[in-house]
């Protein structure tokens, strides 16, 4: 990651490959069970909506876990917290594999959310080592590599489900967890050289973040940017079946367009953030998403019923997220560098919690009478809100530059 980083040397900063794998662990664990939900519901005799708690409750617990992991890492360091989290994840995955009933499986899944430490702490580690614009570029490359997981995770999980059943998917998650643990042990040197004096002090520091206008600007921009994607996840399956008549395999194929767009957007972020700055990248990414939604609405209004009239424009959602999110995340952890872990946790919780709410909202507003329009309007409004919050950050930054008496951190 820098000139002092030596791969597989636990006394130096981690290699970017390690950060990519750390970040992808959580995404794999979430996505790999998606194709197995009907089988799990059948095996344990529960409804499909109840089985979906393995995803929705997992997201909720993930948001909460980020609030804990960030302050822990600011107090005790990135390395011990990440190693401890991976041990917890491995134990929880073993519990899932041997679960005798659905309740035990759900408990295991909730404990598995410790794996989100890889996502939270990869951001904090990067910010420990480099400046804001370079951090945004690195976030772009890291998430570009990690974006491959949502493309292959459900495919692998579906194959394992058909051949061996859902427990095999947990077996793969276990193997990957052990691999990540070993990689972190060998490669991740401690990067937090400014630890807080106590764990309680980190929570008492939250008001310092909450009072920062720029933190809220970056955090809300990240939440609204990702909100478009989470709303898509909540409503796209219904749109696919009810309005487009797609089979599950066709749906999976079209879903890949968003992931491809995300990879493209992250490449753009990694390539150009250093030149244009994080605030402009946040703004432009949300504009791209909004234009895509307008295009889809107009195309469908003209009577075009081909799936590309809907999914083709979701490519813009992926590109917009890929451009905006690395910069928003870099901004979140840069407002108060000494609170990078806490900021990453609080910002991540707001992003996932807000996105999950939009996912539920989009799914609840669709009906056979509405068509896909409620989903598209929610996504458009979310992207517009992302533009507004990005403009707010730009306004605050300019105001700070003009007001010499105001701290630069605001």
pLDDT tens by residue, 228-271: 887 887 677 678 777 888 775 676 677 778 888 888 898 898 78
pLDDT given for residue 30 in this prediction: 79
CB 318 within 8 Å of CB 262 = yes
- Res. 125: pLDDT tops 60: yes
**pLDDT tens-digit readout, 33-46:** 877 777 888 899 98
CB 212 within 8 Å of CB 360 = no
pTM: 0.71
Residue 324: closest CA among 218, 209, 213: 218
CB 35 within 8 Å of CB 158 = yes
- Res. 141: pLDDT tops 80: no
pLDDT given for residue 8 in this prediction: 74
Distances (CA, A) of 122 to 9, 117, 136: 17, 8, 12
- Res. 409: pLDDT tops 50: no
Distances (CA, A) of 228 to 82, 129, 138, 221: 30, 31, 23, 11
How many residues in the chain? 410
CB 28 within 8 Å of CB 112 = no
pLDDT given for residue 201 in this prediction: 63
The percentage of residues in the chain with a pLDDT greater than 90, rounded to a whole number, is: 29
Residue 139: closest CA among 284, 277, 16: 16
Residue 326: closest CA among 284, 357, 367, 354: 284
Spatial separation of the C-alpha atoms in residues 52 and 68, rounded to whole Å:
25
- Chain-centroid distance, C-alpha 97: 25
> Can you count the helices (H) and strands (E) in the chain?
19, 0
Q: How many CB atoms lie within 10 A of CB 103?
A: 11
For residue 4, the SS3 value is coil
Spatial separation of the C-alpha atoms in residues 188 and 309, rounded to whole Å:
45
Name the average pLDDT for the chain: 82
The residue ranges of every structural domain in the chain are 10-197, 205-410
**Contacts (Cβ under 8 Å, ≥6 apart) of 106:** 53, 54, 57
**pLDDT tens-digit readout, 325-347:** 888 888 887 777 777 767 777 88
CB 135 within 8 Å of CB 272 = no
- Res. 361: pLDDT tops 50: yes
Question: May I ask the CATH architecture of the domain 205-410?
Answer: Up-down Bundle (1.20)
Q: How many CB atoms lie within 10 A of CB 306?
A: 11
Spatial separation of the C-alpha atoms in residues 129 and 377, rounded to whole Å:
40
**pLDDT tens-digit readout, 17-30:** 888 888 888 888 87
Higher-confidence residue of 405 and 348: namely 348
Higher-confidence residue of 150 and 69: namely 69
pLDDT given for residue 200 in this prediction: 66
pLDDT given for residue 86 in this prediction: 95
CB 145 within 8 Å of CB 20 = yes
Annotate 381-405 with b (16+ C-beta within 10 A) or e (fewer): bbbbbbbebbbbbbebbeebeeeee
**pLDDT tens-digit readout, 163-212:** 888 999 999 999 999 999 999 999 888 887 777 666 666 566 677 778 88
Spatial separation of the C-alpha atoms in residues 257 and 249, rounded to whole Å:
14
pLDDT given for residue 75 in this prediction: 81
- Res. 157: pLDDT tops 60: yes
**pLDDT tens-digit readout, 267-322:** 898 788 888 888 999 999 999 999 999 999 999 999 888 999 999 999 999 999 98
Q: Which of 31-35, 223-227, 248-252, 404-408 has the lowest mean pLDDT?
A: 404-408
Top-level class of domain 10-197: mainly alpha
Work out the pLDDT band at 4, boundaries 50, 70, 90: low
- Res. 82: pLDDT tops 90: yes
């Amino acid at each position: 990651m820098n000139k002092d980083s030596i791969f597989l040397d636990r006394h130096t900063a981690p290699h970017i490959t390690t950060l990519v794998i750390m970040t992808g662990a959580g995404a794999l664990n979430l996505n790999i069970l998606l194709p197995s939900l009907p089988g799990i519901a059948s095996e344990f005799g529960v409804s499909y909506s109840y089985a979906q708690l393995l995803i929705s409750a997992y997201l909720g617990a993930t948001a909460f876990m980020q609030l804990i992991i960030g302050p822990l890492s600011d107090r005790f360091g990135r390395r011990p917290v990440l190693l401890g989290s991976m041990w917890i994840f491995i134990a929880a995955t073993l519990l899932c594999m041997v679960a005798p009933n659905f309740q035990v499986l759900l408990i295991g899944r909730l404990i598995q959310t410790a794996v989100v430490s890889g996502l939270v702490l990869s951001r904090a580690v990067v910010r420990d080592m480099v400046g804001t614009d370079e951090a945004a570029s690195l976030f772009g490359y890291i998430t570009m590599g990690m974006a491959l997981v949502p493309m292959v995770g459900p495919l692998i999980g579906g194959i394992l489900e058909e051949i061996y059943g859902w427990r095999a998917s947990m077996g793969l998650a276990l193997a990957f967890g052990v691999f990540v643990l070993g990689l972190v042990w060998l490669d991740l040197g401690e990067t937090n050289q400014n630890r807080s004096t106590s764990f309680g002090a980190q929570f008492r520091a939250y008001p310092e973040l909450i009072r920062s206008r720029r933190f809220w600007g970056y955090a809300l921009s990240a939440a609204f940017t990702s909100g478009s994607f989470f709303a898509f996840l909540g409503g796209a399956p219904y749109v696919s079946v009810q309005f487009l008549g797609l089979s599950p395999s066709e749906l999976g194929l079209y879903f890949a367009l968003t992931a491809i767009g995300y990879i493209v957007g992250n490449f753009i972020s990694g390539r150009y953030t250093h030149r244009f700055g994080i605030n402009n990248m946040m703004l432009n990414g949300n504009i791209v998403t909004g234009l895509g939604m307008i295009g889809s609405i107009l195309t469908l209004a003209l009577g075009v019923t081909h799936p590309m009239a809907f999914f083709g424009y979701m490519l813009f959602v992926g590109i917009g997220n890929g451009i905006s999110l690395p910069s928003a995340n870099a901004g979140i952890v840069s407002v108060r560098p000494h609170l990078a872990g806490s900021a990453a946790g609080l910002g991540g919780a707001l992003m996932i919690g807000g996105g999950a709410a939009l996912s539920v909202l989009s799914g609840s507003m669709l009906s056979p009478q509405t068509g896909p329009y409620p989903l598209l309007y929610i996504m458009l409004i979310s992207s517009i809100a992302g533009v507004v919050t990005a403009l707010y950050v730009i306004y605050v930054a300019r105001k700070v530059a003009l007001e010499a008496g105001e701290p630069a951190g605001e």
